[in-house]
Amino acid sequence: MLFPLLRFRPHTGRALTFLIVLLTLLARPQARALQGLTGVHDPSTIVKEGNKYWVFATGQGIYSMYSTDLVNWTPGPRAVFVNNAYPSWINTKVPGFTGNFWAPECVFRNGKYYLYYSCSTFGSKVSAIGLATNVTLDPTSPNYRWEDQGEVVSSTSSSAANAIDPAVFQDSNGDVWLTYGSFFGGLRSTQLHATTGKPLGTTTYALANGDVEAACLTKQGAFYYLFINRGACCNGLNSTYHIRVGRSSSVTGPFVDQSGVDLNSNGGTLVLGSGGRYIGPGHAGIFTEGGVSYFSHHYYDGDDNGAPKLSLARLTWSAAGWPVVSRDWVTAGRYEIKNQNSNLIWDAWGCTGASGQMIAQGTPAGLDCQRWDFTALGNGEYKITNALGGLAADVAGCSAVAGAKLQLFAYSGANCQRFRIDRANDGTLVLASANGNRVVEVPNAATTAGQQLGLWDYNGCACQHWSLTAVGGTLATAGSQQLSGVSLYPVPAPRSGFTIALATTEAGPTRVSVADVAGRILYQGEFGAQQQRLTVAAALPAGLYVVRVERGGRTATQKVMVQ
C-alpha cells in the first residue's frame, strides 16, 4: 500500500470532497520538500527504533512509513493488520467499521511499542480506541508481531466525548495520560496504567471544546502545553484546519492561551496556519533528538492539487515560554556552504560575480565569491545570493531535469531561484529546488575543486548534504561594492604573468593581490591612480589562482589558470 486512505470529517463538507482528495493522492505520487513518498494523513508522533524513524497514519489496516534520515520517507512494507484481519471486538463496538483506522499514535515504554488506534465511521460518535503492542517495529525481525490488547476507551451516541484521535503523554514523574476526542464533545484526558496502557479508572478531564480535535500534549519547563486543531479538515485546498495551543501548570488543565482564554471557551493561540503551498496543517506531533525538536504534521499541498503530505517543521520556545513553529531551518545571514562528502564549499567559479558564472565546489579561501547570503522567503524557502555582486543561485534554463546545473543569475523570484531546505537527522541540510524538488548535489560525488553543482534525485549521498558556517559581513545586494570594468588576459595565463585592464571611473590607486586556492598570498602590488593597464609579473607556477583587484573602496575578484 503506497498511500493511506483518508478519512472524511463529517463537519467539513460533502463526501465528494473526500473522494476528490483521495483520487488526487493516488494519481499524484510525487513529493515536495521532504523526499520520497510522503503522502500521509493524521501522522503519529515520530518514534525511533535503531536507525529508522517511523510514523503511523490513517489508512486501511493502519498505514506506516519510515525514514533513516528524516528527509527521505518510504512506505512500510505492510499494514499493521494485514489483509484487513483486524480484531473482531471492533465491530461489536463500532458496527459498520471496515478497517480504515484513523489517527494512530505510537509510543515506546516498558521495552515495547504501544500503538493506539481509532475506529469509527463517517458522521458517527460511535467510536473506539484500541491498543496493539509489539517488541519491534522491524517487519524483518523474527520477533515482529502485533498483539492486540483490546479496547482502551469507547463512545456511543450518548457519550460526552468521541473516542478518536488518541494522544499519549508520559509525565516526568512517570504518569501516563491519554488525550482524545473531537468536535463531538471536545477533548478529554484520562490517566493510563503505566504498564497495561489502559485507563486507571473512569475519571476524565475536559480540556478543550468547540471545533476541536487532534490533541498533542507535552511539557516544557513548568508548564504543560496542549496543541489542538480547529477548523475544517480533509477538504484539500479548501481545508481551514490550523493548529493552536494553550498551556497549564497542571496536566489536567485548565489550558489557556496567551490572552488567558480557556481552550474550553474556544481559546487557543495560533501556532501554525495555512501559508504558501502548506494548506490546512494538522495533527501535530513532537519528536526531539540531539536537542532539536521536530514538529510533525500533515498538510494539503497547494502545489499538488491538495494532496495530503508529511511536513517536519522546527519547534523552538520563546523567552515567554510559548512554542514557536517555523519551516525555516536556517537563520537569515551570510554563510559558507560545505559539502559533507568533499569538504569543499560553494564557489562562484571565476570569482567575478558575473551573470551566468557557474556555481561549483571550491577550496575554502575566505573569498566573497565563496560566501552566500540566505534570505528567508517563508515556509522553508530561501533566496541564496552570492556575496560578490549579489546575483542569485539559479538553475540554468530554469530546468527541473536531473543533471541541470547551477549558475549565477539576476534574481526574479522564479521557482528555479528558490530553494527548500530540510534538516536531516545528523544536522546537515538538504537543499531542493522549488522547481521540481530535485536536490542540489556535487555530481558523481566528485571531490575535486571546479566541479559544477547540479540537481539530482535524492538518494541520501553525502554529496547531497550540506552544512553552513556563518561568516561576517553585510548581506550583499546586486552590484554593491563590486568593482566593475575589470578584465584579465590572456586566459589561461603564462607563468610569467598577465595583464589587468581597467575601464572604471573609480578614483584612487589600484591594489592587486594573487593567492593560491589555499588562500596564501603569493603576489601583492600597487598601481597609480592614472594607470588603466596593469602588468602583473608574478612568476607563478602552474595552477589555479585568485586575483583580487581593489580600487576606490570597491573590489573585483577573478580566478585565473596559469599554465
Quick: pLDDT tens for 120-172: 988 889 999 999 999 999 999 999 999 999 999 999 999 999 999 999 999 99
CATH code assigned at 540: 2.60.40.3080
Look at residues 399, 401, 389, 394 and name the one whose alpha carbon lies nearest to residue 419: 394
371 and 346 together in one domain: yes
Question: Considering 294, 326, 358, which residue would you say is the last residue of a domain?
Answer: 326
As for how many domains the chain has, the answer is 3
Task: Determine if residue 426 is left, alpha or beta; phi over 0 gives left, psi from -120 to 50 gives alpha, anything else beta.
Answer: alpha
- Give me the CATH number covering residue 156: 2.115.10.20
For 246, residues 6+ apart whose C-beta sits below 8 A from its C-beta are 208, 225, 226, 228, 255, 256, 257, 262, 263, 267, 268, 269
The answer on 350 and 274 residing in a single domain is: no
Indicate the burial class of 454 (C-beta count within 10 angstroms; 0-12, 13-18, 19 or more): buried
pLDDT in tens, the chain (563 residues): 333 344 444 433 323 333 333 433 333 334 345 777 788 999 999 999 999 999 999 999 999 999 999 999 999 999 999 999 999 999 999 999 999 999 999 999 999 999 999 999 888 899 999 999 999 999 999 999 999 999 999 999 999 999 999 999 999 999 999 999 998 999 999 999 999 999 999 999 999 999 999 999 999 999 999 999 999 988 889 999 999 999 999 999 999 999 999 999 999 999 999 998 899 999 999 999 999 999 999 999 998 999 999 999 999 999 999 999 999 999 999 999 999 999 999 999 999 999 999 999 999 999 999 999 999 999 999 999 999 999 999 999 999 999 999 999 999 999 999 999 999 999 999 999 999 889 999 999 999 999 999 999 999 999 999 999 999 765 544 444 567 777 787 878 888 888 888 876 677 888 888 887 666 778 888 888 888 888 888 888 888 788 888 887 777 777 787 88
- The verdict on residue 6 lying in a domain is no
Do 357 and 446 have their domain in common? yes
Task: Work out the angle at residue 274's Cα, subtended by the Cα atoms of residues 268 and 279, and round it to the nearest 5 degrees.
Answer: 125
Identify any residues that bridge with 334 across adjacent strands, giving them in sequence order.
373
- Give the pLDDT confidence of 231-270 residue by residue, as tens digits: 998 888 999 999 999 999 999 999 999 999 999 999 999 9
> Residues 410, 275: one domain?
no
Last residue of a domain, one of 470, 498, 520: 470
Domain housing 450: 333-470
| Helix %, strand %, coil % of the chain (to 5) | 5, 45, 45
Q: How many CB atoms lie within 10 A of CB 539?
A: 11
CA nearest to 67, candidates 75, 56, 58: 75
- 407, 392 in Cβ contact below 8 A? no
Among residues 326, 352, 376, the one where a domain terminates is: 326
What is the CATH number for 392? Answer: 2.80.10.50
- Shared-domain flag, residues 344 and 396: yes
Grid cell 470529517 is found at 9
**74 and 31 within one domain:** yes
Residue 476 included in any domain: no
The answer to the question of residue 5 being in a domain is: no
In a domain, 10, yes or no: no
Active site residues: 42, 213
Tell me whether residue 171 is in a domain: yes
DSSP run (H or E) holding 299: strand 292-301
Dihedral, CA atoms, 152, 153, 156, 157, nearest 10 degrees? -130
